[in-house]
């Protein structure tokens, strides 16, 4: 009898210790994982950006699961390569929802793939947060759409508002403008916005052309622009085009007073490395720079972790353009799920419309059209880049000046363009 009493006391004591011991959050998860589906540009011209966005997402997945998952369940990303194109996207999202049976979807990166995903999301009545698509919901007006891009409530002009505002602060003010854009959705949207901005400032258009998406030689394009003798040039381009335009401008020694605006690709570390000193004088949009004013809770910790993983993952070594945003758009989804305690798309969309979200890129609120309530777009100028500049150059702020918005400004424009070359 005494033996059984002692065994009972030992068992009770062991149970008490077990209850008091800390619980591993990862082991506390139970049930099937919450499956989150998306497409991402992992090959093709958008892949340098898409790959860093995916690494940001994977870091989020790893951290969420280490903290216990969502709703007591682990999360699992299921993703497919959209090849930087629109054509595969509808099939990918149909497969994610009908075959993989994902619980939630995140949208693709970039305007063209994101626009292609919209009909499927609408048909299936799914909430979708896209990454860096410009004006995607302008025509759809879908109430469960959200865009993780700091373009604000009027997205099309946002990429070049700062470009034109800065130009018109110069003395003498520019009088004429040239527009050149890729004949694709993002570039056309951005160029439409640039024209709105130019019209507000009374600038006279002397050149306005779109080039085919398969253009590889930009020397004739730049020569045609130069022949119109514009004071400033607004370029709205995709990554490979941006490289081609920068090289052609330097090759023919074109000297407008200001050039740049809405050029995708110049934000990527690999492209900065490729172009190096050829970037001197160019003014272009950025969405985040490593200035102390743009460091929020978790920002430095995220980039430290990203950069420690980047080489092994074969992605952009810094991740400043899309790595952080890939993490941040998942943070929005995470908060919505936690606060609503739901995976229902209608509940999540209703919450996102009314809430504010703390992310590694600041506090974000969404408006009625799913765009940010307030624009956070930057215009910067690149300068003082030496030939052979290495990775440490791009890690900091010495080679770039934030021109707009005023509250984040770090210096003044070097004008005209020639003085910074």
pLDDT tens string 293-323: 999 999 999 999 999 999 999 999 999 999 9
* CATH 3.40.50.2300 domain position(s) in the chain: 31-150+294-365, 156-286+383-420
Three-state DSSP state, 125: coil
* CA atoms lying within 13 Å on the CB side of residue 126: 25
| Backbone torsions φ then ψ of 363, nearest 5 degrees | -90, 130
> Can you say whether the dihedral through the CA atoms of 167, 168, 174, 176 is positive or negative?
positive
pLDDT of residue 16 exceeding 50: no
The Cα angle at residue 266 between residues 112 and 82, in degrees rounded to 5: 30
- Of 219, 311, 269, 241, residue with least CA distance to 45: 241
Q: What is the mean pLDDT of residues 374-398?
A: 95
Half-sphere exposure of 76 toward its Cβ, with a 13 Å CA cutoff?
A: 14
User: Mean pLDDT in the chain?
Assistant: 93
Calculate the alpha carbon distances from 50 to 97, 286, 293, 315, 372 in Å.
Answer: 21, 16, 26, 9, 21
Q: pLDDT tier at 31 (50, 70, 90 boundaries)?
A: confident
Q: Is the pLDDT of residue 48 over 80?
A: yes
Tell me the backbone φ, ψ of residue 312, rounded to 5 degrees: -65, -30
Residue 20 has pLDDT above 90, yes or no: no
Share of the chain above pLDDT 90, in %: 91
Question: pLDDT at residue 338 above 50?
Answer: yes
Q: How far apart are CA 320 and CA 286, in angstroms?
A: 10
Residue 71 has pLDDT above 80, yes or no: yes
β-partners of residue 105 are 37
Q: What's residue 418's pLDDT?
A: 96
Residue (of 197, 249, 173, 159) closest to 415 by Cα position: 173
Beta strands in 29-175 (DSSP E): 34-40, 75-81, 104-105, 128-131, 145-148
Asked if residues 322 and 387 have their Cβ atoms less than 8 Å apart, the reply is no
Q: Which two tokens stand for residue 21?
A: 């011991």
pTM tops 0.85: yes
Q: Which residues pair with 80 in a beta bridge?
A: 39
Task: Kindly report, residue by residue over 148-193, the tens digit of the pLDDT.
Answer: 999 999 999 999 999 999 999 999 999 999 999 999 989 999 999 9
The pLDDT of residue 18 is above 60: no
Top CATH class of 31-150+294-365 equals: alpha beta
* Contact in structure between 383 and 414 (CB atoms under 8 Å): yes
What was the pLDDT predicted at 10? 37
Helix boundaries (H) for 234-384: 239-252, 269-275, 299-313, 323-340, 345-354
Q: 128-131 and 104-105: which strand pairing?
A: unpaired
Q: 78-118 pLDDT, tens per residue? A: 999 999 999 999 999 999 999 999 999 999 999 999 999 99
Instruction: Sheet containing 378-382: give its strands across.
Output: 204-211, 176-182, 232-237, 258-263, 283-286, 378-382, 400-404
Domain 156-286+383-420 of CATH type 3.40.50.2300 = yes
Cα separations in angstroms, 276 against 233, 242, 307, 405, 414 = 21, 13, 21, 25, 18
Q: For residue 35, which phi and psi values (nearest 5 degrees)?
A: -95, 125
pLDDT tens digits along 246-280: 999 999 999 999 999 999 999 999 999 999 999 99
């Amino acid at each position: 009898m005494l033996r059984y009493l002692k065994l009972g006391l030992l068992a009770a004591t062991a149970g008490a210790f077990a209850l008091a011991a800390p619980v591993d959050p990862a082991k506390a998860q139970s049930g099937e994982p919450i499956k989150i589906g998306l497409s991402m540009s992992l090959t093709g011209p958008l892949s340098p950006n898409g790959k860093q966005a995916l690494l940001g997402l994977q870091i989020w997945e790893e951290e969420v699961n280490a903290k216990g998952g969502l709703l007591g369940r682990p999360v699992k990303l299921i993703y497919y390569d959209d090849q930087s194109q629109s054509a595969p996207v509808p099939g990918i999202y149909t497969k994610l929802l009908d075959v993989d049976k994902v619980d939630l979807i995140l949208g693709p990166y970039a305007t063209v793939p994101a626009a292609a995903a919209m009909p499927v999301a609408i048909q299936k009545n799914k909430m979708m947060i896209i990454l860096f698509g410009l004006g995607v919901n302008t025509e759809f007006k879908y109430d469960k759409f959200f865009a993780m891009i700091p373009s604000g409530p009027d997205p099309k002009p946002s990429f070049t508002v700062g470009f034109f505002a800065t130009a018109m602060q110069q003395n003498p003010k520019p009088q004429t403008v040239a527009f050149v854009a890729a004949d694709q959705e993002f570039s056309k949207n951005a160029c439409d916005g640039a024209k709105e901005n130019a019209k507000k400032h009374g600038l006279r258009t002397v050149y306005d052309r779109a080039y085919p998406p398969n253009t590889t030689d930009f020397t004739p394009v730049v020569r045609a622009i130069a022949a119109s003798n514009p004071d400033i040039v607004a370029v709205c381009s995709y990554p490979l085009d941006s490289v081609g335009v920068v090289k052609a401008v330097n090759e023919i020694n074109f000297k407008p007073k200001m050039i740049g605006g809405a050029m995708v690709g110049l934000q990527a570390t690999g492209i900065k490395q490729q172009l190096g000193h050829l970037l001197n004088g160019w003014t272009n949009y950025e969405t985040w720079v490593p200035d102390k004013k743009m460091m929020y809770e978790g920002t430095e910790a995220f980039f430290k972790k990203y950069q420690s993983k980047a080489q092994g993952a074969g992605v952009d070594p810094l991740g400043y353009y899309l790595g952080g945003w890939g993490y941040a758009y998942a943070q929005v989804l995470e908060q919505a799920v936690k606060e609503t305690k739901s995976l229902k798309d209608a509940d999540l969309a209703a919450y996102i419309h009314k809430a504010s979200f703390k992310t590694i890129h600041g506090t974000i609120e969404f408006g009625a059209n799913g765009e940010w309530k307030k624009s956070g777009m930057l215009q910067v100028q690149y300068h003082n880049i030496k030939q052979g500049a290495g990775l440490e150059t791009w890690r900091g702020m010495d080679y770039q000046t934030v021109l707009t918005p005023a509250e984040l400004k770090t210096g003044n424009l070097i004008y005209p363009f020639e003085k910074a070359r």
